[in-house]
Chains A and B, each alone.
Chain A
Amino acid sequence: MNTNKEISLEKLILGINNFIFCLNLYKEKINNLNVFPVPDGDTGTNMLLTMKSLDLTYEENMTVEDFLFSLKNSSLMEARGNSGVILSQFFLGLLSAYKNNKILSFKTLADAIVNAAKTTRESLPNPVEGTLLSIYEDVGSIATKNFETSKDLSGFLKILSVQSIKSVKDTPNKLQILKDADVVDSGGLGFAMMINSWFYSTVYNNQEDIKKKLNEAYLEMISGLSDSVSKDFYDDSEEIEWGNCTVFTVRGENMDISKYRKEIPEFGKSAVITGDSSLMKIHIHVLETDQIIEYANAIGKVENIFIQNMDDQTKDILDSKKDYKNINTSIISICEGKGVINLFNETAGNAMHILIGGPKKNPSINDILEIVKNIKSKNIIILPNNPNILVTVKKLLEISDREGIGILETKSIQQGISSVVYFDDSKTLEENIKVMNKGIASIEEASVTMSTRDVNLNGKDIKKNEYIAILNDEILDSFNNPRRALEYLLNDMSSRNEILTVIIGHDSIEEDHEKLEESFYEQNNDNELMIVEGNQPYYNYFILGE
């Protein structure tokens, strides 16, 4: 074996560091292209997070195989999202190629990419051309043809880089949805950028030069196409329910991965099952996560569960496509549920930024800081809409030195919504806080939720799974179905309020609420009842009385 064609471990680690460097640079640009399988705008982020989580520690007594083994394991364990899981195939492929070749060489690298293509194809129930899979296959095949004739690493990587660009440009011809959205495949582009960054790092020492060349490669790949998925495309796809992106690992012994590859896709969409007999990585989009986790528990030890609601993610993207220019005061509303998000968005328009959060899903200070950092307007008003999140937001104010941040101390979604009605961007921060607080001052708020345990409250025995009617933080009564609890509350509140707004939660969304309106208007002539979909979890109904 010609030692010139050996790739030292040092060079490999340098290559991986370049992958991270370029993904950091191009994360947002890659996110903007994300349309397949779900337009949730996270491909670049997922690829970067997957690469960042790689275990790159190398100790003296470690063999190359040990190092590649922990590289593979860490990539499988931490891989995020569809694109991250497919990216981790490269490291799976690298380990098995090394085991075959007993050396890290040009051939090993070529084999690794070919292996990645093969295991990706195996791990997908319906492999789709025009994605990262096609880039793996094209680049793997050209690498196989050229590893013998290439004189040095730079020359070899150049061939791979050129091919990767060519293949990415071809993706819209292979996959119709890309053509419709007028973009190239985001994951494919991400991988091509990685290969290019490795190549250019062997040519230039100066980061600025590398950046310049990467920009040229990027522009070449998207030339003649759009640099982001258009808002219209998202609007059209808004009606589709994407469900939850669920990613986890299963540890076990002698697991029959080919069997699970057949069974797991039955649970949902976009399944990717990868790994080996001791560690499997599963990525799947499901409407409800319970069943798939239960199934996996029977196979082995389930770890690193990562669940993200993609409807909320898709909504985030719509937000990021808004025109935030010329806004004096932005609002960050922390809430969840498609309909609730919609209410906030519609009411404050371009001023509104949504951060997903609620009971059992409290965003961290960093999550909020991240949004704050990206807001360019002079002022920001934060609506926590939850007592626990309010505490977090108050802490944030203590540590942030950004000027012009105000908190409106909303402790519920009802308060948040009734305050935002009075927001007016032509007013100052102080004036807005004043009028928005006024909006909250005289409201009544109620909710219906299921009791999770047997309790005695205010001398009332409430059984587990009964529905409780809560008015202004006080439990009034419990009922055996949520509709009766709602009717009880409406009846109680109608005499004191001009408008009652019912926000329907996820668990009651299928019910027919038309009769409710009819009977309400039979009894109340002067008052108004509005019923809107909220899709919020945990609460069957929120009720706002004004």
Chain B
Amino acid sequence: MSKIAIVTDSTCDLPNKVVKEKNITVIPLNVHFGEETFLDGIDIKPDAFFEKLSTSEIHPQTSQPSVGRFVESYEKLLKTHDSIISVHISGKLSATYSSALQAQKEVGNDNIKVIDSMNGTLGLGAIIYKLAELNQEGKTFENIVEEAEKLIPNAKFMGLVPTLEYLAKGGRIGKAREFIGSLLKIKPILGAVDGEIQSVGKARTLVKGMDFIVDELKNHNIKTLFIVHANHSERADLLKEKASEVVDSKNIIIAEFGPVVGTHLGPGAFGVGFISSE
């Protein structure tokens, strides 16, 4: 039986425990506070990051992993694996996918498949989770690649941010820009649509936003639901309580936004990721 490595990047925001259990390789992006650089989730964990975010005068910036880092990881993995399936954050949100593609050419091995997930955070995480499961079940390289292409259009992410300030600063706000400065401070419900951040609904309060999301969950057949928060576990717990009407709470996994995604969403953000009609 051939051995396959499932690779993703740190924007998948999957909890460490899941990463270990499912044998997933996560390539970190970088977070920069001025001249200080941290490897996402390795040099800086969410708790420390949000603490630094609230106290630092410098607003952090993020960057994709270098081609070299990908080359290094791919070459190392190919010593113990026959092939690699490497799925990443939407190319419209980050240059990570293009780094991975270049690395694949550099390594020059046809057994590496690089895929754009058209998604991010737990939208990407949900895809990876499912692929890792298939891998553990012993599916073939071709099977898993084919399955990945099917999962991409069905992977969903929805979330809310208390303020749009962080998305705007990081240049990732997309079409949700129209909500900035509205008199009633309307909060858009953000989703990944066609690989970009778009507003899929709106609410005036975070609690009503949660209700919107839970209502939306009812339209999908969901096996595993990921709930993710930025340094606000009470919100995640409340959302879990509401969502357990729709998804068995045993199948709800709570995760945290990592520093890179957290840079762009800001503290207090929360959301859900899942695969529709599994």
Interface residues of A (CB under 8 A from B): 342-343, 346-347, 417-418, 421-422, 424, 438-439, 442, 498-499, 501, 528, 530, 532, 546
The answer to the question of B2 belonging to the interface, with a C-beta cut-off of 8 Å to chain A, is no
Q: Are A532 and B203 in contact (CB under 8 A)?
A: no
Chain A residues with CB under 8 A of B205: 498-499, 546
The answer to the question of B78 belonging to the interface, with a C-beta cut-off of 8 Å to chain A, is no
Q: Quick one: closest A residue to B201, CB to CB? A: A424
- Say which one of B90-98, B133-141, B181-189 lies at the interface with A: B181-189
The bracket for how many chain B residues form the interface is 10 to 19
Q: Are A418 and B183 in contact (CB under 8 A)?
A: no
Which positions 204-249 of chain B face chain A at CB distance < 8 Å?
A: 204-208, 211
**21 residue pairs bridging A and B, Cβ less than 8 Å apart:** A343-B183, A347-B182, A347-B184, A418-B204, A421-B184, A421-B186, A421-B202, A421-B203, A422-B203, A424-B201, A424-B202, A438-B211, A439-B204, A498-B205, A498-B206, A528-B185, A530-B184, A530-B185, A546-B204, A546-B205, A546-B208
A335 to chain B, nearest CB (A): 14
Given contacts A421-B203, A424-B201, contact A343 B208 (CB under 8 A): no
Chain A residues with CB under 8 A of B201: 422, 424
Interface residues of B (CB under 8 A from A): 182-186, 201-208, 211
Chain A residues with CB under 8 A of B204: 418, 421, 439, 499, 546
Chain B residues with CB under 8 A of A347: 182-184, 186
Give bound CA distance, A528 to B203, whole Å.
14
A344 to chain B, nearest CB (A): 10
B110 to chain A, nearest CB (A): 43
Give bound CA distance, A530 to B184, whole Å.
8
Q: Are B183 and A346 in contact (CB under 8 A)?
A: yes
Give bound CA distance, A417 to B184, whole Å.
9
Q: Are B206 and A346 in contact (CB under 8 A)?
A: no
Please name 19 further chain A to chain B contacts, defined as beta carbons within 8 Å, in addition to the given A346-B183, A421-B203, A421-B204, sorted by A numbering.
Answer: A342-B183, A346-B182, A347-B182, A347-B183, A347-B184, A417-B184, A418-B204, A421-B202, A422-B201, A422-B203, A439-B204, A439-B208, A498-B205, A499-B204, A499-B205, A528-B185, A532-B183, A546-B204, A546-B208
Chain B residues with CB under 8 A of A498: 205-207
A159 to chain B, nearest CB (A): 56
B212 to chain A, nearest CB (A): 8
B238 to chain A, nearest CB (A): 12
Give bound CA distance, A501 to B201, whole Å.
21
A541 to chain B, nearest CB (A): 16
Chain A residues with CB under 8 A of B185: 499, 528, 530
Give bound CA distance, A421 to B183, whole Å.
11
Given contacts A498-B207, A546-B208, contact A422 B184 (CB under 8 A): no
Chain A residues with CB under 8 A of B208: 439, 442, 546
B210 to chain A, nearest CB (A): 11
Q: Quick one: closest A residue to B208, CB to CB? A: A546
A435 to chain B, nearest CB (A): 8
Give bound CA distance, A532 to B181, whole Å.
13
Chain A residues with CB under 8 A of B184: 343, 346-347, 417, 421, 501, 530, 532
Chain B residues with CB under 8 A of A418: 204
Give bound CA distance, A424 to B186, whole Å.
13
Which single member of B183, B202, B206, B207 contacts A422 (CB below 8 Å)? B202
Chain B residues with CB under 8 A of A422: 201-203
B89 to chain A, nearest CB (A): 26
Give bound CA distance, A499 to B187, whole Å.
12
A500 to chain B, nearest CB (A): 11
B161 to chain A, nearest CB (A): 15
